[in-house]
Amino acid sequence: MHSFKTTALAAAVLLALSGAAVQAQPTSGEIKALKGTVEELRKQLQELKRSQRTDADALEKARLDELRKQVDELKAQLKTKQDAQAAAAPAAAPTEGESQESIDARTAASKADIQGLRTDLENYKYDQSRLQERNIPSVTRNTKIGGAITVGVQSQNPAAAAGNATVTPGEPRKNGFSAVSAGLNFSGNLYRDYEEGKNLTYRIAFTTGTNLNTKNTYATEFGKNNADGSQFNLTDAYLRYSFQPVSGNAEDPLGTITFGQQAIPFGQDPQAIDPEVRPVINGAQFSSALGLSTRQTGLVVAGDYDPYVDYTNNYRAPLVSYALGIVNGSGPNKQDNNSLRDWVGRLVYTLPVDYSSWFRQLQIGTSYYRGYGFPAGTTLTDQSKSTFTRNGFDINWTHLPYSISYEWAYGKDELVNSPANRATHPDGFKRGVGQYINFGYTWGEQFLNSSKNQGKFNDFWPKSYQAFLRFDSWDPDRNVLVQNDHNYVTTLGLNVFFAETTKFQINYLHTRKQTGEPTSAAKPRSTNGVQAQVTATF
């Protein structure tokens, strides 16, 4: 009797499950029916246990075990169907005012959705890889690319005479466009010391320039001839090591060792070689006359000591800045012409005052250069080397909106021992002195720290204006036997800074020459001129 009941119940349950399994999706009614069947089986099992005798037949026990196994299988199938029904159930209707983000967050993603997302990510990675390989240049280490383009126009009265360096022979020139100059530079980090901040960086820079000499023929002094009158020259090429940690803390002193071709650390104006950093279109006369506005190849150690820091105003002023270098002395892109090295040094003292003081940024500097070479007129049979020295002194005070700078330089050159030189220079030395003083006034917002820290939209940048007056003098030979050779230049200028990297300059120049010779078209006593140029950096 019990055996018949057990077999019939098990068959009924299996038949109900097999019928439900063929449906695509279980319904709530079917699940309830299954639950009822399971409960009925559980009750019958309990009745069988109560009515079972202690010494029941072994076959009856086996059938009871089989029935228990079937009940467990039914429970597992019931749970599986409930999970499938929950997954297939439609999302609950959004409540009033519920955002789309909330609806998306509680909507379950299917396996197909996840697989589609993976496919889209793989396609994006492939497209970006192709873009970098085809359109984006790459280097081994991080590199910054920069440069500058300078275009200008100039006018002079009286006109520059024929044969002048800027004039086609035979045709006086009163005005025209200036030769365009362009520069390109690369800089980056070769080794970043994350532990101590002693980094190794590099810089490589090129610039264009004319190779026309004073006779307007194509000169070979600075490089290969070019029928178009221009060259592409290497300017900066050096490695720089920070022996003082670059920690990012403004209170820490700085210290670097620079090896390669670079500007020499002498004065203020001689170091402002590039047009993007020069406040005046033409540099000081003594810079080029004494050979200071040129780059040299060598080793320079530079740094500072005991900086004063005002974090509120983003201001840092070291008490002492120093630079000491040893260079070839033969100029850029050349081998040295002698076995001795030139020495150069500079020391700058900044007055230690608070940011609110009127004497803020008052700096006093001194520079010295000693070199060796062969003076003009030396022959192959007379290879005695001569010495020359350069001494400099400068004062700079920048307290926006006011600025004043003064610089003085003195050069002493040993001459070839010849009768003509002994007649005019009995001690065998030629001495030249140059100096300038500059008064400036700046107004605008570009250089204010509050403006620098603002977000810039649509390439907007506040403008600033800088007006200045500059007096520059140069005496190439102070010997009393060589007189009337002074040259004076007065410059009135305006600089306009806009778009962050672009500068417009316009200068009015009055040049006066002190000469004892009769004036002529080729050598007028005084000239007036206007220069204007735009320098755009990137």
Give residue 216's pLDDT band: very low, low, confident or very high (50, 70, 90). Answer: very low
The one-character DSSP state at 500 is T
Give residue 60's pLDDT band: very low, low, confident or very high (50, 70, 90). Answer: low
Residues 6+ apart with CB under 8 A from 158: 174, 521, 524, 527
- Per-residue model confidence (pLDDT) at position 375: 67
- Per-residue model confidence (pLDDT) at position 95: 67
Q: 281-295, pLDDT tens digit by residue?
A: 888 999 988 989 889
Arithmetic mean of pLDDT, 33-48: 71
Q: 380-435, pLDDT tens digit by residue?
A: 445 567 889 999 999 999 888 899 999 999 999 988 877 887 888 888 888 999 99
Partners of 390 in the beta sheet? Answer: 369, 411
| pLDDT exceeds cutoff 60 at 9 | no
**Are the beta carbons of 435 and 473 closer than 8 angstroms?**
yes
Choose from 10-24, 110-124, 195-209, 289-303 the range with maximum mean pLDDT.
289-303
Report the 3 state secondary structure along 214-261: CCCCECCCCCCCCCCCEEEEEEEEEEEEECCCCCCCCCCCCEEEEEEE
How far from 213 is each of 148, 203, 221, 525, CA to CA, in Å? 24, 29, 9, 23
- Per-residue model confidence (pLDDT) at position 456: 57
Report the 3 state secondary structure along 123-176: HHHHHHHHHHHHHCCCCCCCEEEEEEEEEEEEEEEEEECCCCCCCCCCCCEEEE
| C-alpha closest to that of 292 among 238, 257, 329 | 329
**Are the beta carbons of 373 and 386 closer than 8 angstroms?**
yes
Percent of the chain with pLDDT over 70: 73
Tally the C-alpha atoms within 13 A of residue 158's C-alpha that lie toward its C-beta. 13
* Range from 71-80, 211-220, 337-346 carrying the lowest mean pLDDT: 211-220
Give residue 94's pLDDT band: very low, low, confident or very high (50, 70, 90). Answer: low
Q: 130-185, pLDDT tens digit by residue?
A: 887 888 777 777 889 998 888 888 888 887 665 544 444 456 677 888 778 889 99
Partners of 191 in the beta sheet? Answer: 200
DSSP 400-441: TTEEEEEEEEEEEEEPP--HHHHHH-TTSEEEEEEEEEEEEE
The one-character DSSP state at 45 is H
Tokens of 104: 């998306």
- Per-residue model confidence (pLDDT) at position 343: 95
* Range from 44-58, 297-311, 379-393 carrying the lowest mean pLDDT: 44-58
Residue 123 phi, psi (nearest 5)? -65, -40
Residues 6+ apart with CB under 8 A from 163: 169, 215, 216, 522
Tally the C-alpha atoms within 13 A of residue 477's C-alpha that lie toward its C-beta. 16
Residues 6+ apart with CB under 8 A from 423: 481
**Are the beta carbons of 406 and 436 closer than 8 angstroms?**
yes
| pLDDT exceeds cutoff 50 at 6 | no
* Range from 84-93, 366-375, 512-521 carrying the lowest mean pLDDT: 84-93
* Range from 21-30, 65-74, 508-517 carrying the lowest mean pLDDT: 21-30
Q: 322-335, pLDDT tens digit by residue?
A: 999 999 988 888 88
Distance CA 523, CA 521 (A): 6
Percent of the chain with pLDDT over 90: 28
Coil, helix or strand for 308?
A: strand
Amino acid identity, residue 108?
A
* Range from 190-204, 270-284, 306-320 carrying the lowest mean pLDDT: 270-284
Partners of 167 in the beta sheet? Answer: none
Distance CA 413, CA 431 (A): 6
**Are the beta carbons of 495 and 465 closer than 8 angstroms?**
yes
Q: 243-269, pLDDT tens digit by residue?
A: 998 877 888 899 999 999 999 999 999
Distance CA 409, CA 388 (A): 13
* Range from 122-136, 288-302, 486-500 carrying the lowest mean pLDDT: 122-136
What sign does the dihedral 29-34-40-46 (CA atoms) show? Answer: negative
Residue 422 phi, psi (nearest 5)? -65, -30
